[in-house]
Amino acid sequence: MANRILRMAEVEARTCLSKSTIYALIGKGRFPKSVPLSVRARGFLEHEIDAWIEERATNREAAPSGQPGGLVRHLRSRAAAG
């Protein structure tokens, strides 16, 4: 199975998250880590990003009716804090 490497711009577009949010989630262990491509370039494995998106969709369906999922709650609490 060939695995594509995605650059940050494509990851941002696929997840609808900003670069700073992606890095914050990586730091908390809640987003796939990037892989080194060269001394200054990094990328993300497409299948890991796809799995992360699918997990969000699954969590959405598991959230109680009318209640936001985990990521939405996290982003809202972060915005309220500061």
Q: What is the pTM of this model?
A: 0.71
Instruction: Give 60's pLDDT tier (boundaries 50, 70, 90).
Output: confident
The predicted-structure confidence for 17-49, as pLDDT tens digits, reads as follows 999 999 999 999 999 999 999 999 999 999 999
* Nearby residues of 14 by Cβ (< 8 Å), 6 or more positions away: 6, 49, 53
Instruction: Name the helix (H) or strand (E) containing 80.
Output: helix 70-81
Query: What range defines the domain where residue 52 resides?
Result: 5-81
In terms of Cβ atoms closer than 10 Å to its own Cβ (0-12, 13-18, 19+), residue 44 is: buried
Tokens of 56: 């969000």
Total count of domains within the chain: 1
